[in-house]
């Protein structure tokens, strides 16, 4: 069994366990329209959810965590590596890692990173193509 297949199995196992986990909702959000269902930790002295009273929804705790080996894995079964320049691609393993180009990287450097990643066979998680920039660059060199 290859590493890639093993990582894919870990992601599938994580998804399977996530289906069993309850949807943690903010207490009384079903009762009042002004309360969104987004989880907020209950802090009141008499709070039923905090006290784990029978019949009230369960609160999140460490027992609901996913499998240790699959934590931090992207759903594509790759580990995410953030890249700021072309040199950062040297430390990336194409079999195990996927690249996410940092937000601060400009369009010119982004195009260079994407081209180098294609050349090395590295998966890019956020590959925005900049065709306008490439066309503008060819017009400047052509004239």
What is the three-class DSSP state of 42? coil
Domain-by-domain residue ranges, the chain?
Answer: 3-66, 79-142
pLDDT band at 1 (very low <50, low <70, confident <90, very high): very low
Cα distances from 138 to residues 21, 131, 132, in angstroms, run 53, 11, 10
Residues 81-119 pLDDT 10s: 999 999 999 999 998 899 999 999 999 999 999 999 999
Q: Angle at which helices 107-120 and 131-142 pack, to 10 degrees?
A: 100
pLDDT of 41 > 60? The answer is yes
Cα distances from 116 to residues 81, 96, 109, 129, 137, in angstroms, run 15, 17, 11, 14, 18
């Amino acid at each position: 069994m290859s590493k890639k297949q093993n990582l894919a199995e870990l992601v599938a196992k994580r998804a399977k366990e996530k289906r069993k986990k309850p949807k943690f909702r903010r207490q009384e959000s079903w009762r009042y329209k002004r309360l969104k269902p987004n989880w907020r930790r209950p802090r009141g002295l008499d709070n039923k959810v905090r006290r784990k009273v029978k019949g009230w929804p369960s609160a999140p705790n460490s027992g609901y965590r996913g499998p240790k080996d699959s934590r931090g894995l992207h759903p594509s079964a790759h580990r995410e590596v953030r890249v700021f320049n072309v040199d950062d691609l040297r430390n990336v393993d194409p079999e195990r890692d996927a690249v996410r180009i940092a937000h601060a990287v400009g369009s010119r450097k982004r195009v260079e990173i994407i081209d180098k990643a294609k050349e090395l066979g590295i998966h890019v998680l956020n590959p925005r193509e900049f065709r306008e920039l490439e066309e503008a660059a060819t017009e400047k060199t052509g004239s």
